[in-house]
A and B are shown apart, each in its own frame.
Chain A
């Protein structure tokens, strides 16, 4: 099962290598990873999507991560009410004949066209993993030329929202 872990780490050099190294060494699987500074520049936030067979494995992953000196806080937000987003840039083949069809899809998904050329367009879309997957499936018949996807980022909704 996939789990989303929100991790606050000290923004020290090598912190990503420590986390990635831990994963490869102990044979865990990372599905996606997204990193960025928080409101405090000394601290970064990592959103990690991991594959764990069962609770025991997940617990081990969490404990081993927590053992890293640079890891300040770690929470499994899979079951929390959280806002989760991914961003994808999708370059699609596009002719005058099918342009309007593509534009419709873009519209439905509330995505944006950020670049247009003779051969195609680049579409920017944000949403949860399912939404990104859905638009990719719809665009595939037109010919996907290149895709760039971020990992998932997530924030737990504040208590008032629960």
Chain B
């Protein structure tokens, strides 16, 4: 900093509401010129404006600015910019707009086309986390968003930087996660000429983003950023990409940040249709064997309480998708845990026998339904979803309600009379007794399920769990008992290997005081293992619980069952993960015997920095139960009827 500070003389006055007004009233009485540096405000915790200007100091003493100086500083600069329509560069406009959207952190990786944006961030002391791969930045923004409900932001340069984000965007798109990605682009004059590091990223990401933009004029930039955040975070959330050519970031504009968006084609429906809600209530009252099928929408909408109320009032069992394991307490008597391909036998039986399915924020994914004609054959289906396109997409629905779950459920629940379903719950209890989720305890060797169970116990179900994809993910889903929402961050829709670890980086940044554990497999972890450098550099106390079996376990399981154990390309020759972690400056613990599991996990959880726990588990352990592909979900391997 220092020499690069820009000092701009500005007159301070404005007329907005709240805090601004009080401070402005003071300024109007004593008009004077202030000097301040706009990039220095807000982030550092010290507001130079307030320190330097007599007017501000007086206002602060009078209690005119109630908030902490950083916030006051932010308000101050906002109002100045609006008043004076100040000339700033596109890059500065990006940073200022992010700030106005309440963004306090950005994950990214620099490169040629984004140097001006990085320069503006640097001068503004905007908090930036340097990952070691752009894909990791996208996953980290995803983890940040999922664990907080806020929009995550990532940035990458043009060409390869941008294409490296694609997997992360597709992952966020499939799981409806609000992420805004900013990419640099070659200068407008070079567009379409196969210039160095040029890629048509808006074209590439069209099918994996909720919307995307190529900013061709600097004057469009503020409105586009406003729209991007609005689109990403509202309705059914999703990723939005903003591609900004380099010359746009260096051009000057009269900065004005709009407070409204104009999107005639985008009007998410939040209120459920009252008549449909009444009809649903009537249908629900008639049911003898209802099952609530909850999906990720419960978390997104923040409707966990309403879901619990619904379940308890109806005395209806609740099964959740992978995306909603943390939406309903795993130890609740009405919990059926997960359904589908690796769901519990009792959840799959209950769905099959049910006479009513209440689908809340779930989308009847093929991993849930199995062969779709055999799914819930006797049930009427009520589906509540904010996205009209999800209604009846995979399964015909008897009664759809389009709207925000929290609102719809809080209108629906009071319409229902409390119910008892004793016979039905007794039947379910019987299934639970006969077909519990279980595994064989090994005398020698470590059962991966036991490792996850132990972790669940030691963290009392209160850690935030990220996972990679494959067996590790399924064991985490089956044997970790979640108690709080936004605690399970996993790539459900896209099934992105290499997701968990970088996601954990974002989660830990957003939740510095909560334990964050990435349950990993040795295959997936190596897809983004370079992030060991990130956790080491920022001292993020992420714990990597590596269930190391030397295989691409899930594919190996399929090969064992469906290909007569022909293990094509699934045997891994692995590095020494402990040495590798240590090389990055990350503490490592090797676990080789079952009796070490508890003590080593305790040691890792108690440690204040990042730890990799290399747990050598039984190499040929399978995830059971398992519904073979395209079978009915009541026909499970590993369940003796």
- A residues contacting B by CB (< 8 A) are 9-10, 13-14, 17-18, 21-22, 25, 56, 59-60, 63-64, 66-72
Contacts and interface: CB of A to CB of B under 8 A. Distances in A.
Nearest to A24: B207
A56 B210 CA distance: 23
A9 B265 contact: yes
Nearest to A65: B389
Given A56-B392, A60-B389, A63-B389, A17 B264 contact: no
Contact of B210 (A10, A22, A59, A69): A69
A18 B206 contact: yes
Interface in B187-209: 202-203, 206-207
Nearest to B208: A25
A72 B265 contact: yes
A125 B118 CA distance: 59
A64 B206 contact: no
B389 A64 contact: yes
* Secondary structure class of chain B's binding surface, majority of residues: loop
Contacts, number: 41
Given A60-B393, A67-B389, A17 B265 contact: no
B264 A72 contact: yes
Give 3 nearest A-B pairs by CB, closest first. A63-B389, A72-B265, A69-B211
Contacts of A56: 392, 396
A66 B388 contact: yes
30 contacts: A9-B265, A10-B264, A13-B214, A13-B216, A14-B202, A14-B203, A14-B214, A17-B203, A21-B206, A21-B207, A25-B207, A56-B392, A56-B396, A59-B392, A60-B389, A60-B392, A60-B393, A63-B388, A63-B389, A64-B389, A66-B389, A67-B387, A68-B265, A69-B210, A69-B211, A69-B231, A69-B263, A71-B265, A72-B264, A72-B265
B265 A10 contact: yes
A35 B6 CA distance: 49
Given A9-B265, A72-B264, A72-B265, A17 B206 contact: yes
B392 A69 contact: no
A69 B203 contact: no
A88 B152 CA distance: 51
Contact of A69 (B266, B388, B393, B396): B266
A24 to B, nearest CB: 9
Interface of B: 202-203, 206-207, 210-211, 214, 216, 231, 263-266, 387-389, 391-393, 396
Given A63-B388, A64-B389, A69 B206 contact: no
Contacts of A21: 206-207
Contacts of B265: 9-10, 68-72
Given A60-B392, A66-B388, A69-B266, 9 more contacts: A9-B265, A10-B265, A14-B202, A14-B203, A18-B206, A63-B389, A63-B391, A67-B389, A72-B264
A21 B206 CA distance: 8
A53 B264 CA distance: 30
A22 B392 CA distance: 18
A94 to B, nearest CB: 42
A73 to B, nearest CB: 8
B611 to A, nearest CB: 42
Contacts of A10: 264-265
A68 B231 CA distance: 11
A115 B157 CA distance: 53
Contacts of B388: 63, 66
A25 B511 CA distance: 38
A76 to B, nearest CB: 15
Residue from B263, B265, B388 whose CB has the most chain A CB atoms within 10 Å: B265
Nearest to A68: B265
A69 B389 CA distance: 14
A7 to B, nearest CB: 10
A64 B206 CA distance: 14
Nearest to A21: B206
Contacts of A67: 387, 389
Contacts of B263: 69
A17 B212 CA distance: 12
A117 B356 CA distance: 73
A63 B389 CA distance: 5
A21 B391 CA distance: 22
A70 B203 CA distance: 15
Contacts of A59: 392
A28 to B, nearest CB: 13
A63 B391 CA distance: 9
A64 B236 CA distance: 13
Nearest to B396: A56
A21 B264 CA distance: 21
Nearest to B265: A72
B229 to A, nearest CB: 13
A58 to B, nearest CB: 12
A48 to B, nearest CB: 16
A117 B40 CA distance: 75
Nearest to A56: B392
Contacts of B387: 67
A60 B265 CA distance: 18
Nearest to A25: B207
B158 to A, nearest CB: 18
Interface centre among B264, B391, B392 (most CB of A within 10 A): B264
Nearest to B267: A72
B448 to A, nearest CB: 37
A77 to B, nearest CB: 19
Contacts of A63: 388-389, 391
